Structure formats: C-alpha cells, structure tokens
Structure 1
Amino acid sequence: MKRRDGLAEAAGRWSATHRGAAVLLWLAFVVAATVLGGFVTQAEPTPAELTNGEARHAEQILERAGLELPAHEVVFIRADGSAVDSEAFRATVTDTVKQIMATGKVRDVVSPLDPAGEAAVSADRHAVLVQFDMAGDAVEAKEEVQPVLDAVAKAARAHPGFSVEQFGEASFAHKYDEKLHTDYANAEYLSFPVTLGILLVAFGALVAALLPVVLALTAVVAAGGLLTLSSHLVHIDQNGSSVMSLIGIAVGVDYSLFYLRRVREERARGATTRAAVNAAAATSGRSVIVSGITVIVSLAGLYLSGNGIFFGMATATIIVVAVAVLGSVTVLPALLSLLGDRMDKGRIPLLPRLRADDADEAGDPVRRGAWGALLAAVLRRPAISLVVCAGALVALVVPAFSLHTSDPGVSDLPAKSLPVLQTYERIQQTFPGSSTPAKVVVAADSLDGPAGEAALRSFRDASTSTPGLSGPVTFRVSDDGKVGVATIGLVGTGTDERSVRALRTLREKVVPETFGRVPGADVAVGGTTAASVDTNGHLSDSAPWVAGFVLLFTFLVMLFSFRSLVMAGLTLVLNLLSVGAAYGIVVLVFQRGWGEGPLGFTSTGGIASWVPLFLFVFLFGLSMDYHVFVVSRIREGHDRGLSNGQAVERGIRSTAGVVTSAAVVMVAVAGVFGMLPQLSMKESGVGMATAVLVDATLVRVVLLPAAMKLLGEWNWYVPRWLSWLPAGFTESAPGSAAADAPAAGQPDGTDKEVVHSRA
C-alpha cells in the first residue's frame, strides 16, 4: 500500500522539485506583505484596551460620550534665587503660558498666578507648575506634543535664570517611544550578527550559517507588513512589535537549524541532495510544524487575558511564528536543493570538525564528547540523575512562590537614560502626584444643576483636606453636560504603595461622598495609578484561565503528535519545571535585587505586571522547539525497532549539537534584548534566556533521558480507548539512510499493554 506524504513532506518534495518557483513565490510573498503593510499605518490600542476593571470603565464612559481623557501635561518652573512673587518669576510664568497657548495644541491651561492654580505653588515659593491638557485625541497626543516641547524650550532659553521643563503623559510617551524605537532597533541590528557568529561556529561554513539568518530576516520583514495590516483588526502597541522581532529571529533560526542539520546528516550518510531534503522534510519538517502549532496554540491563550497589550503580543508573535513555519517547510527545501554541496562553501579553517560531527552523528550512535559523557552517566544511573536534577530545579522554583507584580510605571526606564524622567523626579520632589493625576469620570443626567455643582465643590474641598490627595482640581464637562472629568493628584510615584493607598482613599471615601451623591451618577476612577492597580488585579484573575488553556492544548497537541498519553504528561511536567525555574531566577535577580549591579537597574520590589504571564505562555511554547525535535528523533529510532535505551541514547546524541546551537542562539537573542534599559524588557529577556538555557541543558540532557529510560516502553503508552488516535507526526523518513534495523535477538519494542504506530 502506497504511503501518503504528510504535509511537511509533500511541501518539501514540491519545493525541491520546483526550486525556482518556490524561491520566487517566497520572495513575492515577502515583498507583497511589506508593500501592502506600507500603505497603512499601524493602529495602536485605545486607552480602554490597555487597561481593565474600573479604569477601563472610566475610559469607556468617555468613549461613548466622545469625551476622551485628555493627556495631562505640566511645566515645572523653578528658580532658587527668585520667589514666585518677584517680577522676573511672574514674567517667566506669563511668557511660558503665552508660548504654549500659541501652539494651538493645548487647552484648559491653569496658571499658578491665577486663583485656580494657587495650589501649584511650592511651599518655599521657589517653584510652580503650569498645568494643561493636550487638545485633540489622547492616543495621538504624543504625536502632537513636539510643538509644545519646542515652545517650552524656547521659554527656557528666554529666561536663563530659571529652570523651565515639561513632563506629562504625552511628552513622556513621545520621548519614551523615541528611546524604545532606537533601543529596539539597535538590539535587532546586534542580534543578527551575533546569531550569524554562533551559526558560523555551529556549522563551520559561511553559506550554511547565512541560510537560517536570511530566512529569519525575511520572515520578520514579511511578518512586519502583515502585522501592520492586522493591527486594524487587533490593535498593536510598541511591546507587540518588539516581541515579534525577538521571537521571529529566534524561531526562524531554530526551525532552519533543525532542517539544515538533518539534511547535512543525511548527506553525510551518503544520501543524494534530493533524498536528504526529502528525509529532512519528513522528519525535521514535521517537527517544525508540530512545534509551530504548539507555539501558536500557547500564544492564543493570551487572548483569554482580556487585555489589549497581550492581544497585540499574541497577534504579533502568532503571525511571525506562522510565517517562519511557512518559510521553513516551503522555501528552505528549495534553497537546500539548489545549493547542494555549496551549502558548505566558505568553510572556516579553525572549525574543521563540524562536518565530521555530522558524519559521526549519522553513523556512530555512541560518539563521545561533553554531552556524550554526561548522557552516558545519566543513562547508567537514571534514577539518581532524575532525583538530583529535579531537586536542583525545584530549589530554583521555590523563590517563584514569593513572586508578586507591580507596575514600574515611569521607573521602567532609569532616570539617567532619559532627560524627561529627570524632570519627572524633580517635579515629584516638589509636587508629589501632580504629574500623574487620578481622573474621576462622572456620567449623570445633568452635571450643570445644583447637585453637580455641590458635588464638585465638595470634591475640591476634599482635595485639600484628605491625606494622600493634592490639588489643584480641574474639571471639564462634555457639550451635553452629561459626562465630566475631574483630575486630582495622588501622592507617590503613581505606581508605588503610597499612590495605591491614596487611590483607595479616593475610590472608597472621597468619590462616594462627593460625585457619588449625584442622583443616577455612574462614577469611575481612571488614570495611571488606577490602570496599574486594576490591570494587575485583572491579570491575576485571568492567569489561571490562560495557564489552563496552554496546559490543556499543549497536552492535546503532544498526545496527537506522538500518540502517547505518558509523553504528553511528561511534557507538561518538564516544561513546568523549566518555566518555574525561570520564574525563581527572575524573582531573585529583579524582585530581590540580586542583579542590580551587573544589569544596571533599581529594583521596584516586584515584577512588571505583564512579564509573568508573558513568560509562561512564551516559554511554554518555545520550549517545545527542542522538546518536539528531540522526542521526534527518539520516537523515530523506536519505530525503526531500536530498544528503548538505544532509541533514547541515539535520539539525544543525534540532536545534542543542533539543540545546543539553537539554544545558544535563543539565549543570545534574548540576552541582547535583556540588556535594554527598559526594566520590564530586562525581566523578560533574562527570564527567557534562563528558561531556554535550563531547558536545553538540564531538562533535555538529564531529566528527559533519565525519565524516558526509567519509563521504558511506557513512554509510548496509549490506552485502548484512545487507540483510534492517528499516527500523528512520528513516522520515519522514507528511504532514510538512518533506518537502522534492530540487532539480532534484540526485542522489537512491542508490548501487549502498549499500542504503537509503526511506519
């Protein structure tokens, strides 16, 4: 009976046969995606999409009323040698107000020289705040704030004896985005040569090393165009775009590595280029598809978070992983077929052993080396190895139980990295809470009547008499008089414990006793502090649902892929250990501050709210790259008739080199992003690098072989009520030179209690 080709094998066979067409189609796809993406601008999330809970409700009230929360800004004016009552000080304030109003980009300007702004004068009367809101759309305010920044800079030059500086939501976002765009671009530019250097060592040849980098680069470029288009369906913020590049480089290179190494291995056995490509398509190509599906399914769990930031991250990375998988199973076989022997062009003289490594892995199942010696020791004493290694990982997991999240806010970047943050610190020292105020949104039948006016008076009085709150209070009403927005300062940095306590006072005491008494009023408190608190709480509530989704579908993918109940369960246990170890290290390094000196940051006493969920989903998905590749090789040997011990040994040995290379690439790329000044990106980069390192060493070389050696034929157990499961992605490569028959007298691996699928 003729065996039907699987998806990866059929795609690889067609690609190798129609090489020119496959390459041209891929290039056309990349160009089309890039050009189409260039016709539109990337759509960013609305303020409501970026938060949850009551803070989101506040934004939604404003959106329905067509009255968005304005981007609040302040200008800090200080002169140690002059007081606010002096003529020079008053002239500086007046000129600054005049300059910013002349831009036409501001509204609701409150001068400290007016009665409404008296609270914005410092206790020593040497500093004041000019407060205003940006006109127009709050989301677009960061794009419109530059003329105002220029006006403030002009006022500063006109009054050399005074410090005149601006800070606010729009000005900070403007400078922050500029900084991040530069930093991320530099990280991406650095990651490619670093990756190329690692691959040169791994393959010892320039052409073979360039191939994965080129494929990853084109995948990221194409995904970037598709991401811009898709952002009009699911809005994408800066974090989503940056994570897409990080994941795209890593998985694009990994998938190419698996494919390329299998082709070289088959050729070292004496196979023709066409036969080697077909064998790689039937084995590594299938592993790439299984791995990609698992990563995509894991990422889809982020849609259960209910937060726009995670929606953007999930969409961005699903797109780039899908494109990387597509390129790996379509254009890569064509390129390998075209290159043939030329894939080894540009040999590096100092690295002559790589080709021998391929030949050894192809023909000698007991080749020794660093990994070989370790594996031999593990397989000799699997129980001891399992207990020792699992104990070490559990010790790393323990600190993770003390993990707690805290939004770093503006502290996500060190003040020295951005002048606007230094301005923020000076403002906070003199006027705590004034630059990141809470925003109280009120919806009622009429706010212009006696009840609304009385509530506003009570609210203004509370701002001066309630500890933790600071004035001045601004209040703006929609044209129909049914929706209003009041702003009030909170003590603290905006995301620290003092600010959280002040927010609680505002919500539980001040608002109910003021605006809450307006008949039929719908009141919600928003702003930076509220968004931080509400989002943290929401993510904590949604995390179990996201984790449950990822665990369930990873289990199902592994069950269908390898037709083994035990392997699916073992996968979950091993991945949870590696992710838990990464959590523990992140807690020690960042929450407890052990890495402050080496990594150059100041601990906030917690982990950024989006990082733990991000790490869980991404690490659970990405660890499947190595797991699927290694287990596929073990299953391949088992299905060819090798004993359990032989299959485990051969599978681990034959994949150790490529898994090590892929892991080094992943660690290096994550490490590059972990060196960025942004604290949350440091946390995610270090967490990813740690988890991949643990996964590719302790888990894949010690725990996995030890567990599989102890389990024996139970590795492939599937109960009879699941015997209907298809063979999945585990068939051997047809005609592969690697197809070893079992030794004479060797057990054929069957057992009446275990249901197997044989190729």
Structure 2
Amino acid sequence: MATYLYRMGKFAYRRKGVVLAAWLALLILMGVGAATLSGPTKDTFSIPGTPAQQAQDLMAERFPEAAGSDPMSALGARYVFAAPDGQTLDSPENQAAMDEVLAQVRQIDQVQDVAKAEPTEAGPPGALVNPVVADAQLTAMAEGQAQEQGSPAEVAVDNARALSPLNEDKTVGYVQVPFDGDFSDVTSELKDEVTAAADVARDAGLTVQISGSVAQDAEMPGGTAELIGLAVAAVVLILTFGSLVAAGLPLLTAIIGISIGSLGITVATGFMDLGSMTPTLAIMIGLAVAIDYSLFIVSRFKHELTVTQDRAEAAGRAVGTAGSAVVFAGLTVIIALLALRVVGIPFLTDMGLAAAFTVFIAVLIAITLLPGILGLFGRKAFAGKVPFLPQRDLEDDAEGGKKNIALRYAEAVVRRPLVPLIAGVLLLVLVALPASALRLALPTEATGDPATSSRQAYDLVEEGFGPGKNGPLLVVADARDANLPAEEAFGEVVGLISAEDDVLNAQIVAVNEAGDTAQIMVTPRSGPSEQGTMDLVDSIRGAEAELAESTGVSFGVTGQTAMELDVSERLLDALVPYLAVVVGLAFILLLLVFRSILVPLTAALGFLLSIVATFGATVAIFQEGWGGLIANPQPIVSFMPIFLIGVVFGLAMDYQVFLVTRMREEYVHGASAKKAVAIGFNHGARVVSAAAVIMISVFAAFIFESNALIKSMGFALAAAVFFDAFIVRMVIIPSVMAFLGDKAWWLPKWLDKILPNVDIEGEKLRQLLPEEERKEEVAVGSPG
C-alpha cells in the first residue's frame, strides 16, 4: 500500500494542475447538486419491527381514516392556558380571551380544515373550542351515553375527566391544533403566526405557552461551533509549525473537505429521509479528522525535506508513509460508522453513512489534494514564519542537541512501566464509575430547556393534570379472532389494563367500522420518561399472551411514549453487541497492521477503557448534573452511546496506528523492544499531541451550541479523544509495550504465513529508494 500511495503523492505534487482542477470541479458539482436536488430533513425516530410500530401499523390498517397519523411525526401545536392567580379559566373574560386566540388560529392557512369549523356549527369533531366549552361538551356526552347504556354515571364522568382538556380546578387548559403537511412545511413565518396568535390572551393576563412540532424552538447549530473549532485549530497549527502557510494547509483542505461532504449530504436529502442533525454530526467528525490527517502528512513532508532536496520525492514519501497510516485510520473510522447498519435503526444508519462519507472525503483529500496544494506552494509551503516561534521538525529526536521532553518521558515510562500503567487504568476506572447509572431517552419536550415555551407548556400540563397527561398510551385491541363478542373482548382488555397500579384511567376512544378493533387510551399516573411508565408498558404487554390464549383477543401498545420507549430499549439492547462487533473488528485490523497478538489485544482493551470513561464523564455532567455545568440534566440521548462507540473506535485506532507503527519500525529495524518503544513514541508523540488537541478543540466547540444532542455529543467526543490520546495511547499503551518487551510482538508462525502484509510502515517503499538515500536517512536518524 505504501508504494502505491508514494506514487500517488508524487503524481499529485507534480501534476498539481490536474488534481486541483478535479477537486474544484467536484466542489462545484456538489454545490450545483445541493442547490437543485436537495430535499427537506425529517426528524422521525421510528424503528421498524418494534412492538409499538407493529401496533401503529395495525391501527393504520384498521382505521384507514387515521393513516399517516404517526405520533412521532404528526404536525400540530398545543396551546396551554393558565389562569392568573386567584382566577379560573371559566370566567367570561378568560373564555373570551381564549376564543380570540382560537379565532386567530383559524386564520392560519396550514391549520387543518376540520379544526377551522366555527364552534357554533355542528361541524365534524375536531372543531376548535376553548377548554371550558370542550369540558362541558365531553361531560354532557358522557352523561348521555351513560343513561343510554345504563352504565354507572360516575364511571362516565371519570372517563370524561380523563379526556378533558380542562383540569379539575379549571385553572389550566389546552387546545390541540392539527396542521397539514410534515416537518418540512414548518417555516419561520408559520412559527411566527402560531406564536402571535397567543398574544391576545397574554395581554388579557393569561399565561399561554405553546408546544408541539409546529412550535418547537429552533435549536440547530448555526456554524458558530465550526468557526470556534477552526480558530482554535489554527492557533495550535501555528504553534506546531511556526509557519502561517503550513498552518493554513490543513485548515484549507479541511474546509474543502467538509464543504464537499456537507453539500453531498444536502444532495442526499433529495433522495433519502435524513434528520436535521445528521449533517451537523457528520461535519463535526469530518472537520476533526480532516485537519488531523492533513497535519500528519504535512509534518511528515517537513521531516522528509531534511532527507531529500527533491520536494516531489518528499511529498511522495510523506503520502507513502504517513498517508498509509491515514488510509488505515480513515478506513477504521469508516468501517465503524458503516457497521452502525447492523443495529437495524434507520436514522442511526443514515448518521453513520453521512459521517462515513465525510471521513472518506477527508482521506481522499489528504492523499491527493494536499500533495497537489503542496506542489502549488512549492518552496513557500513553510513560509510566513511567525516571530519567536521555532520551525521544528516534529519528528526529530533532539532539540538543540539535547533529548526532548517526549523522549525523556518515554524513557522514564520504559524504566518503570508498572507505575504509569496502574495509575492510568485506575484513573479511567474511577472516571467510568458514574456510567453504571446510564439512562437513555429520546429528545422530547420533557427533556427540553426549561426556558423554552414548549418545555413550559409541558410543565403546565403536568402541574395542572398530573404527569400522565403528557404521555398517554394507546392500546390497539384486535378482536377479529376473539371467541366472545367484540364489546366483551374490549371490556376484558380495559379491565385488565385498569387493574394495573400505575393506570389512572383506561377507556375505549374509538372502534373501527367493522367493529373488530378498538383504540383504548390509557392515562398513566407517571410521566412519559419515568420508570413507572416503562414498567407499565412492559406489564401491559406481558399480560397480552394470557388474555389472547383465553379469549382470542390480542392487543399492542403504541403512541409516542411507547414508541420512544421502544426506540431507547432497542438502542440499549444493541449497545453491547455493537461494542463486541467493533472491538472484534479492531482486533482483526490491528492484527493485520502490527502482525502481533498482544498489541491488538491491548489496543482493544484500551479502547474499552476510554469508552467507559467517556460514558462515565458524560453521565456525571449531562445526566447527573455534577458541578452544575448543565442547567437541565436529562437522560442521555438514546442513540449517542452507539454512535459514540463507532466514532471513538476509529479515532482510537488513529492514534494507535500513528504511535505504535513507529515503535514497530524501530523494533523491525533492530532496536530492542524497550528502546523501540521510547524512540517510536518520541517520533510520533508531538504530532499526535497536536492532532489530539485540535480534535478536542473542534469537538469541544460544539458544547456551546444550544441543541442538547449536539452539546452532549461534542463533550463526549472531546472527552473520548482526551482519554484515549493522552491517557490510553500515551500512558497505558507505552507502559504495556515496555512491560511486555519482546513478547509484545509475538505471532504464531502459522498465522504469520497466512496474514497478508499490508506494509503500513512502508518497508517496501524503503527498498525502492536509492542506496545512497537510505544511507542518508540513517545518517540523519530518519525512522523510515
């Protein structure tokens, strides 16, 4: 591989015009495609095959008039009204104020026609009325039905109360407004209209908060994080190279890379349903790896210039050596991200594909566009010297004839490897302890920022009605194969559910035309994300088999709360298998690279340590609220841990490859095992340190975004890079390698014969160099 990359780098340097023109054409093509082919993003979290989705599919089949009303993607807004202190909503003044709000809501074009019917008309169910009127209508209807059916009046009143949009004290009420379209139809103008309609009631003294998909506050990143990350990266690169031009090269290639990547993802929205957070996460990862990959090659290019005067030759060698590590490191990230597909979750698969695409572009740019740009700058590649900053060869062994800090540190670790090994492991284990309390949930109004109107609306409903009102469950009962009349079968289901301790109310709210399927609304006593509701869903589902066997009636639990619980449970269940796949993959790939059993094993175990430590730190700060750094601690977003594993796996292998391949080079070329650790660490440590600081800065910049997922993901990735680069790869791994000595490179002879030689160290490339150049390399201390 090193030989092919050497030729590619040399070609790109010499034929810079062709290479630069090709990348410019690709950038323009992506821009045109994004402008003409892009489509809307869709934030849906359904998972095919889950119990809730199966119940939802059954409801869509038996209630065709409700087809398309997926609770996870239904478009609507909820106006929540609260009376001033000492007043109730049923006063004439407060009712008039609410009626005026609804009159303005009816003027919004996208409000469904059924909701626009005037309250004085008999019109279809769904006409907008204020909560007081709706409460009276429901109560009168329930009492009338009780008299007709001869059922207890108190039961009918309780059922009406459970459905009523007005609380018992008449101090809090709400109106649900359905809208036509989907999330792509929600514009800033529509949000302004929805918000402005509430001003009349607010002027009259009522508290009005708005929740629902139409009224969600815009929290998506606006590019600030990327700018902060680039700024910090620029400072680190300037300090690293002491040259403005050299510092700008990784930034330039990274900007081109994420531009092509983000435009490509925008094009994909015209053909796929991608979430609004997908491009941001892809850019976050693509930006970090693009800068790092270019940094590795530019630093190696600078080192090669001390060996040869032929700049094209130096570019070829840089791409052939450091570029080999870049390709392998990028491949590990891509494979880990693509492996998210095995989890079987569509939106997670899309995120992995998008991020893998940006990493793929970053690798291609590093090994083709970067040497072309180096050829464009020629002898000016390290121009723009910054005063007071030395222009050092980061891979040199000495500074001013003395051993540098990295070499002295490595020699100290080699002398007493057990001390740093035990200290590093203990530190990560302690940081990982809070991970035992990990709880997962999807982003909802319940987990939103308390300062937003949607979260305040949620809190008002909880205070006025109880926590279960915000997350009712919907049970779909199928009596088609029942051995008793359908009405009795539905009654059996209602009775079974009502017997559960956490059920406040259960009642039939709809029966299909055939009379064989019913919708049963269940109001829990606990909130949507509380453990009591999760246990209730499990308990109801657990009772289904016995009832189905005795009566022939089957049922399933669906609704937004049940769907969110199923998504979180599926993700949590997939966490360990996916981790096993990734760790197994890491072992196989590193076995090919290092031709050793113990090196891949220690690398994989180090990866596990950095992952659990990252989980521990993230849980402590974002879930438990340690240190008061987060104003609104909430469960960790369900899909973050799996996505984090995929990304961190690749990043961990980046640093493992760049550091340990240098150790292997020295060992293969005759150095003792311990000396190889010290020299190899010295050659790679400063470059890896600069790369890790850059990556940490890029990720950490996203902590300042308002979106909870992006904030927590930025922190987790920054923490993961810190733990893996500075503790695992620079403390634990050198200690383990020194402790194992020659045994670290042991490989059974039979396995050595069948393993392909990927030549990550560029040994075959060394054999291609002229004899005099190899002698010159040895003279100047080149690692190969």
1:179 aligned partner: 219
> In structure 2, do the counterparts of structure 1 residues 8 and 431 end up closer, same or farther at CA, with 3 Å as the change threshold?
farther
What's the CA shift for 1:484? 6.5
Q: Give the Å deviation of 1:507.
A: 5.1
- Tell me the equivalent position of 2:566: 534
Flag the 1:437–1:346 CA change in 2: closer, same or farther, 3 A.
Answer: farther
Query: Per-residue deviation at 1:218?
Result: 1.4
Q: Give the direction of change, closer, same or farther, for the CA distance of 1:480–1:242 in structure 2 (3 Å limit).
A: farther
Length-normalised TM-score, structure 1:
0.85
Query: What pairs up with 1:281-680 in 2 under 5 angstroms?
Result: 281-351=319-389, 353=390, 355-358=391-394, 361=396, 368-407=403-442, 409-416=444-451, 418-432=452-466, 433-441=468-476, 468=502, 475=509, 489-501=523-535, 503-504=537-538, 523-595=555-627, 597=628, 599-604=629-634, 606-680=635-709
CA gap of 1:669–1:152, structure 2 versus 1, over 3 A, is closer
Displacement of 1:463 after TM fit?
10
For this pair of structures, how many residues does the alignment match? 724
Shift of 1:577: 2.0
Q: Deviations over 1:713-752 (max 9, x none)?
A: 3333322222132221222353496878889xxxxxxxxx
Query: Equivalent residues in 2 for 1:14-93 (5 A)?
Result: 14-42=11-39, 44=41, 47=44, 49-50=46-47, 53-61=50-58, 66-69=67-70, 71=74, 73-80=77-84, 82-93=87-98
Is the Cα contact below 8 Å between 2:476 and 2:520 reproduced in 1? Answer: yes
Q: CA deviation at 1:269?
A: 4.0
Name the CA shift for 1:455/1:188 in 2 (closer, same or farther; >3 Å): farther
Once residues 470 and 604 of structure 2 are traced to their aligned partners in structure 1, the CA distance between those partners, rounded to angstroms, is 46
Q: Is 1:129 aligned to 2:174, yes or no?
A: yes
Question: Quick check: 1:268–1:362 contact (8 Å CA) kept in 2?
Answer: no
Alignment of 1:157-306 (within 5 A): 157=200, 160-163=203-206, 165-172=208-215, 174-175=216-217, 178-182=218-222, 185-231=223-269, 235-306=273-344
Residues 120-139 of structure 1 deviation map (CA, whole Å, 9 limit, x = unaligned): 222322322223433445x5
Q: Write the letter of the residue equivalent to 2:92.
A: E
Q: Structure 1 residues 232 and 675, CA, compared in 2 at 3 Å: closer, same or farther?
A: same
- Structure 1 alignment gaps of length 5 or more: 744-757
How far apart, in 2, do the equivalents of 1:58 and 1:181 lie?
Answer: 35
For 1:709 and 1:365, how far apart are their aligned partners in 2?
Answer: 27
How far residue 701 of structure 1 moved from its aligned partner, in angstroms, is: 2.4
Change (3 A) 1:493 1:202: farther
State the SS of the aligned residue for 2:234.
helix
CA distance 1:31–1:419, shift in 2 (3 Å):
same
- The one of 721, 727, 730 equivalent to 2:757 is 727
Q: Give the aligned partner of residue 145 of structure 2.
A: none
Opposite residue 89 of structure 1, the aligned amino acid is: N
Larger deviation, residues 661-670 vs 542-551: 542-551
Shift of 1:222: 1.0
Q: Any conservation in 2 of the 1:304–1:545 contact (CA below 8 Å)? A: no
Cα contact 1:494–1:529 (8 A) shared by 2: yes
Amino acid of the structure 2 residue aligned with 1:543: L
1:412: Cα distance to partner?
3.9
Distance 2:405 2:398 in 1: 18
Matched, 1:12 2:9: yes
**Is the Cα–Cα contact under 8 Å of residues 199 and 661 in structure 1 kept in the other structure?**
yes
Change in Cα spacing, 1:44 to 1:163, as seen in structure 2 (3 Å) is same
In the TM superposition, what whole-angstrom CA distance separates every residue of 1:283-318 from its partner, at most 9, and x where no partner exists? Answer: 111000000111111112211222223112211111
Q: Spell out, residue by residue over 1:645-686, the C-alpha distance to the aligned partner (whole angstroms, 9 max, x if none).
A: 333222211212111111101111121112334444443322
Q: Aligned match of 1:150 in 193, 199, 224? A: 193
For the aligned residue pairs, the C-alpha RMSD in angstroms reads 3.7
Residue aligned with 1:220, SS: helix
Asked if the contact 2:329/2:653 (under 8 Å) is kept, the reply is yes
Please say which of residues 36-45 and 310-319 is displaced more in the overlay: 36-45
- CA separation in 1, counterparts of 2:728 and 2:107? 64
Which residue identity does 1:154 align to in structure 2?
A
8 Å contact kept, 1:443–1:521: yes
| In structure 1, distance between residues paired with 2:550 and 2:262 | 49
Indicate how the Cα distance of structure 1 residues 658 and 681 shifts in structure 2: closer, same or farther if over 3 A, else same: same
8 Å contact kept, 1:451–1:518: no
Deviations for 1:480-519, whole angstroms, at most 9, x for unmatched residues? 888765655444442123443554566567x8999x8998
Deviation at 1:192, TM superposition (A): 1.8
Distance in structure 2 (CA, Å) of the matches to 1:287 and 1:62: 53
Cα separation, partners in 2 of 1:395 and 1:721, compared to 1, 3 Å: same
Q: Which amino acid aligns with 1:437?
A: P
Tell me what 1:752 maps to. Answer: none
Once the 2 structures are TM-superposed, how far is the Cα of residue 337 of structure 1 from its aligned partner?
2.1
| Alpha-carbon distance in 1 for matches of 2:367, 2:607 | 26
1:277 CA displacement = 0.6
- Show the counterpart of 2:151: none
8 Å contact kept, 2:251–2:291:
yes
Contact 1:386 1:702 in 2 (8 A): yes
The within-5 A match list for 1:663-702 is 663-702=692-731
Contact 2:607 2:649 in 1 (8 A): yes
The 3-state SS of whatever aligns with 2:178 is strand
Deviation at 1:25, TM superposition (A): 0.7
CA gap 1:398/1:682 in 2 versus in 1, 3 angstroms: same
Output the CA distance in 2 between the equivalents of 1:225 and 1:518.
58
Q: 2: distance between equivalents of 1:82 and 1:402?
A: 43
Segment of structure 1 superposing worse, 275-284 or 116-125:
116-125
- Structure-2 separation of matches of 1:27 and 1:477: 61
For each residue in 1:215-256, what CA deviation from the matched residue of structure 2 results, as whole angstroms up to 9, or x when unmatched?
111111111122234446653213322211110111000100
Partner of 1:94: 99
The residue identity in structure 2 corresponding to 1:725 is L
Contact 2:490 2:518 in 1 (8 A): no
Residues 711 and 462 (structure 1), Cα distance of their counterparts in 2 relative to 1, 3 Å cut: closer
Output one character per residue of 1:183-210: Cα deviation in whole Å (capped at 9) or x when no partner: xx22223222222222222222211111
Decide whether aligned partners of structure 1 residues 490 and 661 sit closer, same or farther in structure 2, where only a CA change above 3 A counts.
same
- Report how far residue 451 of structure 1 moved: 6.0
Q: Give the drift of 1:386.
A: 2.6
Structure-2 change in CA distance of 1:480 and 1:189 (3 Å): farther
What are structure 2's unaligned runs of at least 5 residues? 116-125, 139-159
**CA 1:46–1:577 in structure 2 vs 1: closer, same or farther (change >3 Å)?**
closer
CA positional deviation for 1:274: 1.3
Amino acid at match of 2:756: P
**Deviation (angstroms), 1:155:** 4.7
Is the 1:51–1:534 Cα contact (8 Å) retained in structure 2?
Answer: no
Evaluate the alpha carbon distance shift between residue 412 and residue 28 of structure 1 in structure 2; reply closer, same or farther with a 3 A threshold.
farther
Q: Deviations over 1:513-571 (max 9, x none)?
A: 99x89987663322332123212221222222211211122112112223323322222
Structure 1 residue 267: deviation in Å? 1.4
Q: 1:390 to 1:78 in 2, by over 3 A?
A: closer
